[in-house]
Structure 1
């Protein structure tokens, strides 16, 4: 057997990819007596193409999968797509130039299904192109009927346990996506704004009280003005009423420690609700709520003269109106951090709406303990989870006012408003299409209102251990949870990892996995995070058009697990040269192996024994490093 003079990566990689798939080289073998090593493979969101960050982190988890096979283990390494939820909706809307709210839910769901099936084929080819060694026959989609049934069953179990509750409460809201969102879906964004100082009349006097705010547009929702009881400037104002300009409505002047005499003017106008702090403070007070926002961000009838104006456009308009009345004392430019929706970057608002929540605030200590029981690679990543759990402010809002998602399996009795849930055997169901079996158990009513909302995509993807292992049946699932490994990137610790951990503890009182490996970001050559807005995204397809997949994986192996790594073409060139060295070495050694027919050499020379000793040391050190997920050390040593 003689190898070609030069290594042709295009031909060779294509040949072996096809061979692996055809011969099912990486298939899991349920009947094998070898020890199972199970991986909770991250299902990529169906929202476009594979990006370099995917190639980076998925290559790293594949290093571990291949290493475990080398140790003789039967590796359970399934594949899936997270193809429901807002990210997929946005992708389909852009791709088809059709808007969900302009269609019936059924029509839009069909549109999403058609387009996700199409793009998933392209995405699958992309992941296979980087040399992933998954069992491609063990495959799931989070929108499939089977997964919908698993998701809905978890809801029934949570409801039975008293953890799934529906209530009317203040919720974080995205006015662009027109849906409630959870705390984990918020991002901090630093933005330019203005600190506006404007005067209110004190009713029955000639006095005025000046407030300073970054959100003058919330004035129609103002319910009180607060001053500090120790602030002598406002001693005579307490108990009186302030008159809101333009609206000519009065609000009480009260005392509270939320008014800091050293901040702004020391007087705070309290609105329902301009900030998260307003929501928390409101829970301690006996104050009315004035709801001014519609779900699309426009003001309702409580907005007075501003009814119909979008909240984003109202700020400059209300400042101009206050200036015309001579009410503005000064405006100070300011940079501050605001919460935005991580999907679209829109500033969030707070609306009072009916939503489904998973009640878990009382379990934070249990979640922390469970997180500590996990083996973290690298260990310091646990602190990110710990900070997140300690900073939880609300129960988990899981209902979404969207279209392409798993339906919440509930009907409401029109007569007594009781919640009607299906039997587990009926799952999956869609309340908009299906009807309850029988009468209302409380009032014997026969007319029902279907739940229109769908689950947040994380409610379903937090079940991937059950979803993946159930591909081989219930017995396999029960035997193999906790799974051996959850690989994922650090940016979704507070999403995917936390929600999976929380649901596993609530529903099963056990860990979903034994180990978790956390990867970093792939950065641009200057060390900055890649984004479309910056125009610095590097497409893996463009990289693979010039370099072998193994060179890309060589680059990915250069990062210490958990650390971010800039993309440098020189690293791929180094990887390409290394591949050629392996090829040339193989050309030298292979004929000798064939000639010796695999027999063990005798009468070794000193130099031979030295080389074998070095090899054994390398094997020992590499094994230890791989056992600790330290693949970058293996790369350096080799």
Structure 2
């Protein structure tokens, strides 16, 4: 590691070198240690098809901050990485690749297809991991897992068999969500609803006996081909006499009954609903209650099948147009009503989802959901922010059985075999040699694979070796914090919770930290269609990973979306440069001197102030991190480093560094090194690269900042009295500089300062500070001064007089003070009116009334000082 810092900070030169240094040192690897408390985060495994996007960048930055912080605190901190096989997305990539090569998936066959898929995974599947490393992710890469690796596969088979044997997994014909594009079933959680323009087609369904018709409305006229009944509410007086009568289904000619079911809403539309059990989940349930025929009219690709008669082979939308036209021509169409309604789409490809009856594998959710709800209600798992519990409970309380089979080849194949001889279904962890019922050796394995989320649900324990009872599992499970976006509560969070409880007997984590989405500068969701997406790797290439990380974390709060803008990144880059330049200043001033990284015995007022300020920010940052207020912690670090350390303490340090007192100069060098090195440690989880690089150049103990101790609050660094004295001096300096700026007085024009205060001794010690930073030739401090014509400046602790009448327009100054006085008097009058109002003092909370009273007292004092200043100028 270099002991010198370049003139300017170049992230491109630093970051790869530092990351390689961390990897070579094995600093990210977590070992079981009985002397240490474990802290575990499992990464939400990104898809192997994925490219790093801003959502990933935020998610990984939050996790990295937490894991680096805990690692530096002395925990056995494990951040377990891995990737997800992403069945639907990956298979689509492989199919597309084969199509370009002129190869058909079905013609290729399952085994050859899977060989191609594994080849693709080997070539491209690690890309997202390398991108995470560019961000600075300090994962334990020695433990990297993949949801299709042998260990995870063993866990999946174990869970499937256990749940099947308990009766919690079953196979049956039910309504599922079908994606015609992906050609597979998807779960309820994978359906995204989009508001779209649509229509209500009002139709006549005539009675068989010719006595008239029933009017109903539908948004999907193509599904009428599968209608097997029309329903009304049993208490709807309009239709009670019609229940049991037969209708003739328009265009089809099939006779269907009028049935009564409480599912129908009397007040909605005409109170008459067509029932299509094969293509609507509610209709399916009605069909079960009334033993209706289930007629599927759609193929897997979304076209009309042989049950659609004349419309067979048509795309659904084309069939819709043709059916509507025929209905109109034959007099069945009454009217068309324009509407806006929610349409379910596949979360992967955006295709409109078709509800469709299909034979699939399901997980019975009610028995699993109950304990998963209780563990959150009992706060055994905390949601940060707490309001996310409402979303979780709402979904869990209304949960439906989970369709887990997928009509794909890439994924965990369902461990079920069918006997052609006796029809037995054999579910087993390993491939059975023969049917246990009849001995037939010609068993056929189920063609389907499992929903990707089935294996992801086991991630917190399958990655630690389960179902084997490994030492890692015993030590690192349950994990501690799950960091994730609020948009996958259903996909992943809920499933991990009930899986951990069911198979481990313990919740998989104690805290779920939800973050929001990263939106563009205008607050819009980033998307391809808007063209407003920003590539994190391009930002890193231009500004550095630290600047990106600090941008993403600044201002963030749990569960809330954040806005991203180039201006914010530039601000973060400037912050990095500020730290770099401050560090170079320190290094230049300790060059040639033996400066230990320890505090000197003697401490000046300025030293005690910066140490007290540093100690306070240490305590606050640690507390913020404990409460997952990472954005607040980042802002406090920014303020301390930029304002207090760089803009104030370094400027104050120059007085002694440039003075004749060598002991005082050495004293300030030690304080500079001590505070800077520990400030770098405090900032390290947020901006790891630049802090490690600078720390290595400063005097230090230990090999690397990444494993150095994280600063903690220390009572011996509390210097309240000297810190307050310093704050009084700083307030005075700021006030003088601001007034001079308002009056356009150049720094070269110096003057005497007269400071009137009840405690003049507070300001005497700051003589050198006033001379350097307030452009003073000297100061006098006392309880009062009579200086006619002097410019007067008021601070909470003092009245400052500047005898510089020749530099100021007396009338303009009187006018300014008078304006300020009028404003203060108005505020005071408002406060007094409130305090004299019995309604306010009687009804407002005591703390509010006291706040108004204290403000009135301050305003009264301020008015007196302003009046005194005006009087002095008018003498």
**C-alpha distance in structure 2 between counterparts of 1:31 and 1:259, whole Å:** 62
Q: Given that residues 41 and 63 in structure 2 are in contact (C-alpha distance below 8 angstroms), is that contact kept between their aligned partners in structure 1?
A: no
**C-alpha distance in structure 1 between counterparts of 2:288 and 2:529, whole Å:** 39
The answer to whether the aligner puts 1:293 opposite 2:298 as a matched pair is: yes
**C-alpha distance in structure 2 between counterparts of 1:306 and 1:354, whole Å:** 24
| Cα displacement string for residues 317-359 of structure 1 (whole angstroms, at most 9, x for unaligned residues) | 1001111212211111111012222112222223332221111
**C-alpha distance in structure 2 between counterparts of 1:477 and 1:363, whole Å:** 22
Q: Given that residues 168 and 353 in structure 1 are in contact (C-alpha distance below 8 angstroms), is that contact kept between their aligned partners in structure 2?
A: yes
Name the TM-score, length of structure 2 as normaliser. Answer: 0.69
The answer to whether the aligner puts 1:464 opposite 2:454 as a matched pair is: no
Label 1:256 to 1:569 Cα distance change in 2 as closer, same or farther (>3 A): same
Match of 1:545 among 538, 541, 546: 541
Label 1:168 to 1:270 Cα distance change in 2 as closer, same or farther (>3 A): closer
SS of residue paired to 2:395: helix
SS of residue paired to 1:109: helix
Which residue of 2 is the match for residue 375 of structure 1? Answer: 382
Which residue of 1 is the match for residue 626 of structure 2? Answer: 627
**C-alpha distance in structure 2 between counterparts of 1:100 and 1:382, whole Å:** 43
Match of 2:44 among 42, 46, 53: 42
Q: Given that residues 48 and 119 in structure 1 are in contact (C-alpha distance below 8 angstroms), is that contact kept between their aligned partners in structure 2?
A: no
Deviation at 1:313, TM superposition (A): 2.3
Which residue of 2 is the match for residue 163 of structure 1? Answer: 168
Q: Given that residues 201 and 219 in structure 2 are in contact (C-alpha distance below 8 angstroms), is that contact kept between their aligned partners in structure 1?
A: yes
| Cα displacement string for residues 49-79 of structure 1 (whole angstroms, at most 9, x for unaligned residues) | 1111111121111110111012111211121
Label 1:74 to 1:229 Cα distance change in 2 as closer, same or farther (>3 A): closer
SS of residue paired to 2:408: coil
Deviation at 1:230, TM superposition (A): 4.9
Which residue of 1 is the match for residue 276 of structure 2? Answer: 271
Deviation at 1:232, TM superposition (A): 4.9
SS of residue paired to 2:540: helix
SS of residue paired to 2:273: strand
5 Å matches for 1:98-113? Answer: 100-113=105-118
Which residue of 2 is the match for residue 390 of structure 1? Answer: 397
Which residue of 2 is the match for residue 615 of structure 1? Answer: 614
Label 1:366 to 1:463 Cα distance change in 2 as closer, same or farther (>3 A): same
**C-alpha distance in structure 2 between counterparts of 1:466 and 1:235, whole Å:** 57
| Cα displacement string for residues 575-594 of structure 1 (whole angstroms, at most 9, x for unaligned residues) | 01111111122123345396
Q: Given that residues 273 and 349 in structure 1 are in contact (C-alpha distance below 8 angstroms), is that contact kept between their aligned partners in structure 2?
A: no
Match of 2:260 among 255, 259, 262: 255
Deviation at 1:602, TM superposition (A): 1.6
Which residue of 2 is the match for residue 412 of structure 1? Answer: 418
SS of residue paired to 1:283: helix
SS of residue paired to 2:530: coil
5 Å matches for 1:39-118? Answer: 39-95=41-97, 97=99, 100-118=105-123
The answer to whether the aligner puts 1:592 opposite 2:597 as a matched pair is: no
**C-alpha distance in structure 1 between counterparts of 2:264 and 2:621, whole Å:** 60
**C-alpha distance in structure 2 between counterparts of 1:440 and 1:97, whole Å:** 39
**C-alpha distance in structure 1 between counterparts of 2:632 and 2:37, whole Å:** 26
| Cα displacement string for residues 201-251 of structure 1 (whole angstroms, at most 9, x for unaligned residues) | 211224222221111111111111223455454455333211112211211
Q: Given that residues 224 and 270 in structure 1 are in contact (C-alpha distance below 8 angstroms), is that contact kept between their aligned partners in structure 2?
A: yes
| Cα displacement string for residues 78-114 of structure 1 (whole angstroms, at most 9, x for unaligned residues) | 2101024112222333455456445312222222211
Label 1:298 to 1:415 Cα distance change in 2 as closer, same or farther (>3 A): same
SS of residue paired to 1:352: strand
Query: Which structure exhibits the higher relative contact order, with contacts defined as CA atoms closer than 8 Å and separated by 6 or more residues?
Result: 1
**C-alpha distance in structure 1 between counterparts of 2:612 and 2:496, whole Å:** 45
Q: Given that residues 86 and 452 in structure 2 are in contact (C-alpha distance below 8 angstroms), is that contact kept between their aligned partners in structure 1?
A: yes
Deviation at 1:261, TM superposition (A): 4.4
Label 1:153 to 1:178 Cα distance change in 2 as closer, same or farther (>3 A): same
**C-alpha distance in structure 1 between counterparts of 2:132 and 2:354, whole Å:** 38
SS of residue paired to 2:170: strand
**C-alpha distance in structure 2 between counterparts of 1:280 and 1:534, whole Å:** 40
5 Å matches for 1:327-338? Answer: 327-338=332-343
Which residue of 1 is the match for residue 480 of structure 2? Answer: 484
The answer to whether the aligner puts 1:520 opposite 2:522 as a matched pair is: no
Label 1:310 to 1:2 Cα distance change in 2 as closer, same or farther (>3 A): closer
Which residue of 1 is the match for residue 575 of structure 2? Answer: 578
5 Å matches for 1:191-590? Answer: 191-372=196-377, 373-392=380-399, 394-422=400-428, 424=429, 426=430, 436-437=432-433, 439-470=434-465, 474-558=470-554, 559-590=556-587
**C-alpha distance in structure 2 between counterparts of 1:493 and 1:452, whole Å:** 29
Q: Given that residues 158 and 507 in structure 1 are in contact (C-alpha distance below 8 angstroms), is that contact kept between their aligned partners in structure 2?
A: no
SS of residue paired to 2:52: coil
**C-alpha distance in structure 1 between counterparts of 2:26 and 2:408, whole Å:** 39
Q: Given that residues 279 and 356 in structure 2 are in contact (C-alpha distance below 8 angstroms), is that contact kept between their aligned partners in structure 1?
A: no
**C-alpha distance in structure 2 between counterparts of 1:17 and 1:347, whole Å:** 44
**C-alpha distance in structure 1 between counterparts of 2:119 and 2:515, whole Å:** 32
Label 1:131 to 1:349 Cα distance change in 2 as closer, same or farther (>3 A): same
**C-alpha distance in structure 2 between counterparts of 1:154 and 1:478, whole Å:** 19
Q: Given that residues 371 and 385 in structure 1 are in contact (C-alpha distance below 8 angstroms), is that contact kept between their aligned partners in structure 2?
A: no
Q: What is the count of residue pairs matched by the alignment?
A: 626
SS of residue paired to 1:124: helix
Gaps of 5+ in 2: 638-875
The answer to whether the aligner puts 1:187 opposite 2:192 as a matched pair is: yes
**C-alpha distance in structure 1 between counterparts of 2:362 and 2:180, whole Å:** 20
| Cα displacement string for residues 24-55 of structure 1 (whole angstroms, at most 9, x for unaligned residues) | 22111235732221111111012231111111
More helix by share: 2
Which residue of 2 is the match for residue 430 of structure 1? Answer: none
| Cα displacement string for residues 247-293 of structure 1 (whole angstroms, at most 9, x for unaligned residues) | 11211123334444443233222112443322333333232222222
**C-alpha distance in structure 2 between counterparts of 1:354 and 1:231, whole Å:** 35
**C-alpha distance in structure 2 between counterparts of 1:358 and 1:115, whole Å:** 31
Q: Given that residues 174 and 180 in structure 1 are in contact (C-alpha distance below 8 angstroms), is that contact kept between their aligned partners in structure 2?
A: yes
Gaps of 5+ in 1: 427-434
**C-alpha distance in structure 2 between counterparts of 1:338 and 1:102, whole Å:** 35
Which residue of 1 is the match for residue 177 of structure 2? Answer: 172
Deviation at 1:507, TM superposition (A): 2.0
SS of residue paired to 1:77: strand
Which residue of 2 is the match for residue 121 of structure 1? Answer: 126
**C-alpha distance in structure 1 between counterparts of 2:141 and 2:98, whole Å:** 28
Q: Given that residues 59 and 553 in structure 1 are in contact (C-alpha distance below 8 angstroms), is that contact kept between their aligned partners in structure 2?
A: yes
Q: Given that residues 84 and 406 in structure 1 are in contact (C-alpha distance below 8 angstroms), is that contact kept between their aligned partners in structure 2?
A: no
SS of residue paired to 1:39: strand
Name the TM-score, length of structure 1 as normaliser. Answer: 0.93
Q: Given that residues 32 and 74 in structure 1 are in contact (C-alpha distance below 8 angstroms), is that contact kept between their aligned partners in structure 2?
A: no
Q: Higher mean Cα deviation, 569-578 or 182-191?
A: 182-191
